[in-house]
Amino acid sequence: MSDYAAFARLERDGWWDADTARSYAEGFAAASAQCVPEMIRASGARPGSKALDLCCGHGIVAEGLLAAGARVTALDFSAAMLAMTAVRVPSVTLVRGDAMRLPFADDGFDVVTIGFGIPHVPDAAVTLAEANRVLRPGGRIVLSAWRDVGSAGAFGCVYGAVRDHGDPSVALPPGPDAHTFADPERAFPALREAGFRTPEIAVVESAWQVEDPAAPFDYFIDGTVRGAALLRPQSAERRAAIREAVAATVRREFGSTAPWRVPVPAAIVSALA
């Protein structure tokens, strides 16, 4: 069991905030949505499949599973996220719960999806083991994770600006690496350890198209919990410097004029129970 208690509190408090949840859905999640078709394809969901969408957020993966004909249950710990899912896909069964302690019987689902949720749980190994438990033998898990491409992507652009211009005394509590499960050398062993087999990976070149070169800063500070925890405590002067550095990197890396296509590439990892 990982010792990420402070991280767990940060995530719980942050994602319960309705403004943060809404900002994520309206901004950052434009990249997440581009990964849904590949997740549904990899899941093999079809009419009649019983699907569980863990860390369901505002319901975009659940919506894709439903469109494929699956009978969908969606779980999240955030009431704010579940409220948005209820509006998006009212026919889905919603459960407020913990992805590390699933309130479901063994072998009850054909598909488990986790759309960018793994970095938000304190212990991924426990969540994967729980997913394996509730999947029938031969069922499939599909999860997505952001790839680390340095300054050629949104994460490196923002966190590089924080490194160069932020107050070093502002730090996040220890927590999972956001990119672990986009790396097959780390993701595949973790899946096998949880009882899965034949893991596969696909890449999605997701991106934001923005009119403001500083938009990645805004997406992170307004629509992510870790980003807010790192950026909001900065002084006004440092926040302004970080935001301008993000804009400068976007102009340098992705073109001098609007609109800008800012890469937020992802990996889709799947395996059989």
Range of the structural domain that residue 145 is part of: 5-150+174-210+262-272
Number of domains in the chain: 1
In a domain, residue 40? The reply is yes
Number of C-beta neighbours around residue 243 at 10 A: 21
Question: CATH number for the domain including 51?
Answer: 3.40.50.150
For residue 77, the SS3 value is coil
* pLDDT class of 89 with cuts at 50, 70, 90: very high
In a domain, residue 120? The reply is yes
Q: Which residues pair with 53 in a beta bridge?
A: 74, 113
* pLDDT class of 3 with cuts at 50, 70, 90: confident
pLDDT digits (tens, 9 = 90+) for 152-210: 999 999 999 999 999 999 999 999 999 999 999 999 999 999 999 999 999 999 999 99
In a domain, residue 242? The reply is no
Average pLDDT value over all residues in the chain: 97
In a domain, residue 256? The reply is no
pLDDT digits (tens, 9 = 90+) for 236-269: 999 999 999 999 999 999 999 999 999 999 999 9
The confidence score (pLDDT) of residue 2 equals: 60
In a domain, residue 16? The reply is yes
Residues whose CB is less than 8 angstroms from the CB of residue 269 and which lie 6 or more positions away in sequence, other chains included: 142, 143, 144, 145, 181, 182, 184, 187, 188, 191, 199, 200, 201
Given a cut of 60, whether residue 1 has pLDDT beyond it is: no
Percent of the chain at pLDDT above 70?
A: 99
Residue 70, CA atoms < 13 Å, CB-side half-sphere: 29
* pLDDT class of 151 with cuts at 50, 70, 90: confident
Q: What is the mean predicted confidence (pLDDT) over 40-61? A: 99
Which whole-number Å values give the CA distances from 200 to 188, 195, 208, in the listed order?
8, 15, 26
Tell me if 233 sits within 8 A of 171, measured CB to CB: no
* pLDDT class of 139 with cuts at 50, 70, 90: very high
